[in-house]
Amino acid sequence: MSQRNTVVRSLHDLGLAAWFGGSLMGAVGLNGAAAQAKDPSERLKLASIGWGRWAPVQLAAIIMHGIGGIGLIVGNKERLAGQKEARSNTGVKLIFTGLAGAVSLYSGILGMRINAHADEGAAGVTEPGSQSSTELASAQKQQSILQWAIPALTSLLIILAAQQGEQQRPVAGFLRSRR
């Protein structure tokens, strides 16, 4: 008997897509565009405004992904009990989801620190300027790594989700649904 999990799978996938895509666009597009502002103090202010507007959407995406992921675990509990590969994949996915969530949270905290020092100006959103304080420079250096870590971690989650989808396919008629 086949079981459909369309709603929770959609929450899982759409949440993850928004988390990945928004983070990547922010690192490439938003930070890149804000770095082009002529006034160094505007660079950090513009980036902070953009990231501030994105933050509630990203939080909603992460929550959607989490709800969908829990729903998929519940909906596939029998398969997880009987299929070692699916259990392993789910465990790895849980670890990397937690890590991606923690990195996203810390990146948000760093963003607030950067915003608090926006009036100092900077060479770029994640590049300190000659007038940057030690606190601002430290937050920017960390953020320069995290802005790429989030899309990297969420892309790994996309790959693991694809692998799970492949694990659900029938193998040469062995697991065919009965009608």
pLDDT given at position 41: 85
The answer to whether residues 72 and 140 touch, using CB atoms and an 8 Å cutoff, is no
- Residue with tokens 């304080």, as numbered in its chain: 133
> Rounded distance, CA 1 to CA 165, Å?
17
Could you give phi then psi for residue 15, rounded to 5 degrees? -60, -45
Terminal CA-to-CA distance of the chain, rounded, Å?
7
Query: pLDDT exceeding 90 applies to what percent of the chain?
Result: 81
In a domain? residue 1: no
SS (H, E, C) 53-119: HHHHHHHHHHHHHHHHHHHHHHHCHHHHHHCHHHHHHHHHHHHHHHHHHHHHHHHHHHHHHHHHCHH
Note whether residue 178 is domain-resident: no
Residue 174 within a domain: no
Question: How does the average pLDDT of the chain come out, rounded?
Answer: 92
114-127 pLDDT, tens digit per residue, is: 999 999 999 999 99
For the chain, how many structural domains are there in total? 1
| Structural domain for 13, as ranges | 6-167
What does the pLDDT look like over 42-100, one tens digit per residue?
A: 999 999 999 999 999 999 999 999 999 999 999 989 889 988 998 999 999 999 999 99
> Is there a domain that residue 66 lies in?
yes
The encoded tokens of residue 44 equal 């950090």
Is the pTM higher than 0.75? The answer reads yes
Instruction: Give mean pLDDT, residues 1-24.
Output: 90
- In which band, very low, low, confident or very high, does the pLDDT at 179 lie, cut at 50, 70 and 90? very low
What is d(CA 35, CA 16) in angstroms, rounded to the nearest whole number? 27
Q: Is residue 177 part of a domain?
A: no
